[in-house]
Amino acid sequence: MGQYKDLRFPADFLWGTATAAHQVEGHNTNNNWWAWEQTPGHIEDGTTSGRACDWWNRAEEDLDRAAALGQNAHRMSVEWSRIEPRPGEWDETALTRYRQIIGHMRRRGMEPMITLHHFTNPLWLEERGAWENEETIVLFNRFVEKVVEALGDMVSLWCTINEPNVYAYMGWADGVWPPGKRDIRTAFKVMRHMARAHVVAYRTIHRLQPDAQVGIAHHERPFDPLRPGSALDRLAASLQNRVFNECIFASMYSGRLSLPLGWGRVPEAGDESEFMDFVGLNYYTHEVVTFDLSRAGELFGRRLVRDGVELNLFGEEVYPEGIYHCLKKFARYHKPIYITENGTSDHGDDRRRRYILQHLVQVQRAIAEGVPVRGYFYWTLVDNFEWAKGWSTPFGLIYLDPASGERRPRPSAELYAEIARANAISRDILEAGC
């Protein structure tokens, strides 16, 4: 008898990949990101999204590849600037195109999960202040209503908003994403508006589609103390956890604003206290933090990378146990959990293979301990435009040459396929390691 046994996943587990409209569709010329990309210096490698993966024309081909690789689900987003190119004007041909793509997915036996906002805003909305402006709550709801009326018969899993904390941090704290500001107070205002917009959209979706499953895709990045024995390191880590991970999720979940997002209830929440049917977890890495009195702006926590750990192309630690800890933490909500994103970039494929295997082992460990994980979406299917990193950090199971459009599955696509088809990590895979 070998040392390993098969690690099984629950029946009906969803195995998929995740994408976002702007990163794959190409020529989304009418949104804030396209405009941002045109200024030299904004995208690290000097590229633009351009034709991206040409999904507006070629999505079906890649979905066929995903289905052939044993995947039974796909998470994608719809692009607001295509559907509502000018305020209150709807482009029915864009909605028809999304119906084709989602219909294709269904015919290939893949369950769609649709994200309604994944970082991009129509230019007209951006010009009105986008999420800095309270009016966006109403405008987003009108958009959600239109999309759910058009696509609801084909979709039952909805993510209202992708990673509000990352959107606010990158745009208003780090300032390397549009609108490129450094203004923490406004970052919290943006998150508050997103929390309110989620509550309103949650209601709208359920009014139109009572059986829908609605959540968000929450980016959880655990902050761990460098020296667990040090009360000061623990304090610094817990403050950062509170601000980055907890406030936004708790506010969106319960409709009760959690400091420092604000006091009291989301005004639109009424008497209800639950606004999520599932927890969507995006997990990539964790942060190690030590107390530093000189870092008031970072809540006295200096982030650092420990010696000897494996890093991804962003210089972040590869930390598979982190996904297990996140899943254990989210089990407290007693809701189904989907891993809405998890993945790594690698110019070769060895790191990617190892990353997938190590993270799935941790996911299965949580499941074996009773955590209700229902699906896993690897980020991403085909190399795509990675925001401010441009084309320099390929995450795909499938390699893409952005110039020619040529695709080539990487070995990790086969590893993932083997696991998805077996609905288990087999003993053979574990014995071979990566």
Q: Is 341 a catalytic residue?
A: yes
Q: Does 37 bind ligand FCB (CB under 6 A)?
A: no
Stretch that binds ligand FCB, among 101-109, 160-168, 177-185, 330-338 (CB under 6 A): 160-168
Q: Is 163 a catalytic residue?
A: yes
The DSSP output letter for 397 is S
Cα 300 to chain centroid distance, Å, stands at 28
Nearer to ligand FCB, 82 or 389 (CB): 389
* C-beta closer to ligand FCB: residue 158 or 300: 158
400 binds ligand FCB (CB under 6 A): no
- In a 13 Å sphere around the CA of 208, the CA atoms on its Cβ side amount to 21
CB of 233 to ligand FCB, least distance (A): 26
Side chain identity at 271, as an amino acid letter?
D
Catalytic residue among 126, 220, 268, 341: 341
**Does position 341 bind ligand FCB by CB under 6 A?**
yes
Question: Crossing angle, helix 184-208 and helix 164-172, to 10 degrees?
Answer: 150
Q: Does 139 bind ligand FCB (CB under 6 A)?
A: no
| C-alpha span between 420 and 434 (Å, rounded) | 17
Q: Which stretch binds ligand FCB (CB under 6 A): 25-33, 80-88, 161-169, 318-326?
A: 161-169
Under the binding rule (CB under 6 A), the answer on residue 379 touching ligand FCB is: yes
Complete DSSP assignment for 28-74: -TTBHHHHHHTSTTSSTTS---TTTT-HHHHHHHHHHHHHHTT--EE
Distance (Å, whole) CA 173 – CA 345: 24
Query: Which is the catalytic residue, given 163, 220, 287, 386?
Result: 163
Q: Is 387 in the site for ligand FCB (CB under 6 A)?
A: yes
Choice between 275 and 387, CB closer to ligand FCB: 387
338 touches ligand FCB (CB under 6 A): no
Q: How far from each other are the two terminal CA atoms of the chain, in whole angstroms?
A: 21
CA distance 284 to 276: 22
Among 7, 14, 20, 243, binds ligand FCB (CB under 6 A): 20
Instruction: Give CA torsion, residues 419, 421, 426, 432, to 10 deg.
Output: -60
Total chain residues near ligand FCB (CB under 6 A): 11
CA angle 49–107–156, rounded 5-degree value: 75
Quick check: 73 binds ligand FCB (CB under 6 A)? Answer: no
Q: Which is nearer to ligand FCB, 203 or 359 (CB)?
A: 359
Q: Rule CB under 6 A: which of 194-233 touch ligand FCB? A: 219
Phi, psi of 425 (to 5 degrees): -95, 110
Active-site residues, by number, are 163, 341
Residues contributing to the site for ligand FCB (CB under 6 A): 20, 162-163, 166, 219, 282, 341, 379, 386-387, 395
